[in-house]
Amino acid sequence: MNVCFIMYPWEAMDPENDSTLAMIHEFVKRGHGLAITTPANLTIRDSVAFAFSKVIKRKDKISNSLKSFHGKAEFYDEMLPLAGFDVIILRSNPPLDMIMLNFLDSVKDDVFIMNDLDGIRRANNKLYTAVFEDDKNEILPRTHVTKNKEYLKQTIKEGPDKMILKPLNGFGGSGVILIEKRAMKSINSLLDFYIDNKDGTSNYVILQDYIEGADEGDVRVLMLNGKPIGAMKRVPGEEDHRSNVSAGGTVQKHSLTKREKELCRRIGPKLVKDGLYFVGIDVINGMLVEVNVMSPGGITYINKVYKTRLQEKIIDFVEDKVIERVVAFERRHKLRKHVDEA
């Protein structure tokens, strides 16, 4: 099986903590051919989509250490047709590169792509949580998405004492701030900063009810094919309310509560229907805060605290999907041949 990762540069990885590297390592250990590329290295020639790729050289022995594997990996450069791969895995960081998806549209019928392109289009920003029906706010905090400053100021005045403000297209906890009603004097400048751009354009922001318990951290749940496969508690650092590890948070063991399991049960079928097979959801006090579909992290951290190897489950799933596609293709070919010869 030949696999292509469309991702961030190899040199930008943190070898000991990178979820993408853990997945690549598992593919290579199993003997699969593997190439990596970036969105900027996609091209079209004679109506065929190609990738300027770095192909990992096959070796007889593969180190079990991610850090060693990363440091010793050898590559050769090759321009490869995307339709020639069995699997394409998207692991580029937000914001979403829409041109990249346009390149991939031409091969989506030929290659298993994780996650599904149309699913990613729908879920690439924090608006996706709105697709989960929750009139009673049982699994979703009350949420407002807008550019309208007057509406935001009025909502803050009439809302609870504490709310969360964040950019619609942020990631890694970037730009997430806690707003308190007692600090209304600074609201105007904050909204100007978040919404207005120097070129005259503007940005959408999300204003969300503060969820009690958020100061104690959140839970990252990794979901595969609509089911939870691992979870970790992320605790904020002493000087930052954000619990993202990239923002200085720390990781602890976590067993899913009854409420968290029910949340996963409610959203799992929709994720699968949208082709969002591998995602990371962020949960606070049983409430869904975000669905991360582009490059969800957490594999290596969960592996360390639970002495497990989540990447094995993920690669097992991908291999099964490819086999399903091959079997279906062969069956269609056999049936069509039967009709042709009738």
Q: Which residues pair with 166 in a beta bridge?
A: 206
The two three-digit tokens of residue 298, written as one number: 């957490």
The mean pLDDT value of the chain amounts to: 92
* Residue at token pair 């321009």: 79
**pLDDT exceeds cutoff 90 at 95:** no
What is the model's pLDDT at position 4?
Answer: 98
Residue 161 confidence (pLDDT) above 90: yes
Specify the pTM: 0.89
Across the strands, what pairs with 51?
A: 42, 80
- Going by pLDDT thresholds of 50, 70 and 90, the confidence category of residue 96 is confident
Number of residues assigned to the chain: 342
β-pairing verdict for 287-292 and 33-37: unpaired
What class, spelled out in words, does domain 142-209 have in CATH?
A: alpha beta
CATH placement of domain 2-114? 3.40.50.20
Per-residue pLDDT band at 297 (split at 50, 70, 90): very high
**Mean pLDDT throughout 160-183?**
85
Query: Across residues 112-116, what is the average pLDDT?
Result: 98
63-67, 88-92, 124-128, 189-193: which range is least confident on average? 124-128
**Over 60: is that where the pLDDT of 208 sits?**
yes
Write down the CATH number for the domain with range 214-308: 3.30.470.20
Q: What is the pLDDT of residue 248?
A: 61
- Sequence ranges of the domains in the chain: 2-114, 142-209, 214-308
pLDDT tens figures, 307-316: 999 999 999 9
Per-residue pLDDT tens digits for 237-289 = 765 544 556 546 789 999 999 999 999 999 999 999 999 999 999 999 999 98
DSSP H or E segment with residue 114? strand 112-114
Which residues 6+ apart lie within 8 Å of 224 measured at CB? 277, 278, 313, 314, 317
- CA-nearest of 46, 35, 52, 55 to 106 is 46
**DSSP assignment of 287-335, as one string?**
EEEEEE-SS---HHHHHHHHT--HHHHHHHHHHHHHHHHHHHHHHHHHH
Q: Is residue 131 pLDDT above 90, yes or no?
A: no
